[in-house]
Amino acid sequence: MHTDPDCIFCKIVAGQIPSKKVYEDEDVLAFHDIHPWAPVHFLIIPKTHIATMADVTPAEQTLMGKMMVLAPQLMAQLGVTGGFRQIINTGRDGGQEVYHLHMHVIGGPRPWSKG
């Protein structure tokens, strides 16, 4: 598994920085966002360091599918039944702030502070 020692999300995966976990398996980690935009807001990240969506290759196809399928399952477990959003910001112009691929999953009653 590739990691970046300077990446905050790699440090979260390694347990060096605490997080409020929603889900974890051998491939991905989901944890609550520290600055939520909505009543339910968590991130799903691959445990391996992939900087941006633009760096995804066919080798990560299964991993990306796992992330997409996991989002609605976790939202249902967290009681979100009225809909939600899945957002992946890519690159500077796409609004990406942390350069470790991550999917925001946000939902719950509106109005939300963003989105």
**Catalytic residue IDs:** 102
Q: What are phi and psi of 75, to 5 degrees?
A: -60, -40
Strand partners, 103: 44
Q: Provide the 10 A C-beta neighbour count for residue 20.
A: 9
